[in-house]
Structures are given as structure tokens and as C-alpha cells.
Amino acid sequence: MPQPGGVISLDHDTPELARSYDEAGLVQFRHGKFLIGPLAIKSGEHVLDIGTGTGRLAEFVAGLVGPNGHVIGIDPLAGRVEIARLRQADNLQFDVGRAEDLARFHDGQFDAVYLNSVFHWIADKDRALREIRRVLKPAGRLGLNVQDPSRPHQSRLFLRQAIADTGIADHRPDSNPVLGSTDEELKSLFAANGFVDYRSELRALVDVHEDADSLLRWSEASAFGNFLEAFSPTEREQVRRAFVRLVEAKRTPEGLTLERYLRFAFARKAPTDN
């Protein structure tokens, strides 16, 4: 849940949230692999992972580029980078950094750049895309996945219903906004910042959670402590109880089965763009 105006605070993250994120990271990793496939990453290539988190997907990509390639993962959260560095290797390194400031990297340094469930957290998307274009080689590829406000995750719809059921009135017009981009918004952003050959696809992904509390812990960790921060501890507990009642209706023998919707978007730097 963002601060007013859609600004995300990174100050709420804790070592416990970072560890929870890594432990539950298979959710992000699975849909990250859907992002990596269309990028057609090859042996020997240089790749930048923006918003790498604890580095699970970057480690996978390092296996694709092999010993002659190189993967760099950056993330604004030092605690998550600390965990990611446990995965570091000769062709894989991690550092603290943001999409909006890639000054440490040379022009045309990377064959591919990707952002796995990260783009919706970035406040200055134009600046980030300009920086990404700069560090890509001519014809370099960009891939990202993002929430689409026109198709919220099932868990978010349940959360909205839980908030409504508690009767808690929040001070903001929407206490549970979807941070994301539609196809048209992404297409416009990519074109305005010099990318070509844009394409996107909305995919439905099925997540299975052990129980409602594990789903809430995952949501808190993936939002780096910004989840439900608008509410007091008492109100959060009320919302939690209402949420548990609602999502239990989705229980299967495997666990709580919920659909997550992500838009996968791809483009490239023009071959003649130096």
C-alpha cells in the first residue's frame, strides 16, 4: 500500500521482511522465468536485473549467460542485496541501486535489461526508461512485467472486500490502489523514451499459498513493509480476520489457489540508436 501520491517508502523494510521475501521468493521466481524466456538471453551476454530483490532470478540468468557472460543485479534495499550477495559468483554480482540512476554503467553496456515485478514501484518511469535505453546496446532488449490496474490480482479483490467488510473508513480516497500500467500506458511510455518493437501480453498465473497468513506475509514482504500501513495495528488485525474468512473459500487440497494477473511487456533499443 503506497504513501499518498503513490510514493513508496523504502524505510519500512526490515531484515525479517527481507528473509520472508527470500523464503517465499519462488512466487516471483516462477513468473520471472516467463519474463526471461522471450528475452532470448544467450551465452556470453551482459544482463542487468533492476530490482533484483534477493537475487534468485539473477542467479538463474547467470546460468544462461555462462562463464563468458555477466549479470549485475541492483536493488534499492540494502538488506535484500545483502542476501543476494550470498548467491554471488564470477559472472554474477549485486549492488544497491535504482532504476532512475544507472550512472555507474557505461553507455551500451548491456545486451538485455529486465525488471521482474518492479516497474510499478518506480515513481519516475520516464527517467528510468531513459537510463535503461542509454545502458542498452543498439538493438538491446528490455523486458518487464507489471500489475495491470484493469485486472487486479484475486488476492487484492479479496483484500478490498475485507477492508469494506470491516467498515473502516480510510482518510485516502482509495486505501488499496493498484500500482501498475495498462497496455496503452506502457506502449506510450516505451515510445516516448525511444524504444521500438513494443509488444505485451496479459497473463493469468496461479499461485498456491499454504494459508491466508502466509499470503499476507508474502504481500507484506513483497511491498517492503508498505502493505496496509494506512491502518492502525487494531485495524490491520480486523482486516486480517475478514481477509482470512474470504480467502478460505478458495482452498483446495493443495492450499489456497489464487490467480495473479501480470502484463508482460517487451521492446528494444533501435539498432541505429547509439
Cα angle: 35, vertex 149, 12; to 5 degrees: 80
Residue 212, SS3 per DSSP: helix
Is the model's pLDDT at 168 over the cut of 90? no
pLDDT score, position 146: 92
The stretch 136-152 carries a mean pLDDT of 93
More confident residue, 220 or 216: 216
CATH class of this structure's domain 4-269: alpha beta
Which residues, 6 or more positions from 109, have their beta carbon under 8 angstroms from its beta carbon? 46, 48, 135, 137
pLDDT score, position 191: 97
Cα 66 → chain centroid: 25
Ramachandran assignment for 215, one of left (phi > 0), alpha (psi -120 to 50 degrees), beta (any other): alpha
Does this model's pTM top 0.85? My answer is no
More confident residue, 195 or 118: 195
pLDDT score, position 215: 75
For the chain, the domains span: 4-269
Q: How confident is the model at residue 14 (pLDDT cuts 50, 70, 90)?
A: low
Q: Which of 3-7, 26-30, 141-145 has the lowest average pLDDT?
A: 3-7
Percent of the chain with pLDDT over 70: 81
User: Which range scores top for mean pLDDT: 17-21, 152-156, 185-189?
Assistant: 185-189
pLDDT score, position 228: 62
More confident residue, 198 or 15: 198
Q: How confident is the model at residue 216 (pLDDT cuts 50, 70, 90)?
A: confident
Dump pLDDT digits (tens) for 179-213: 689 999 999 999 999 999 999 999 998 878 788 77
Q: How confident is the model at residue 38 (pLDDT cuts 50, 70, 90)?
A: very high
Q: What is the C-alpha to C-alpha distance for residues 18 and 54, in angstroms, rounded to an integer?
A: 8
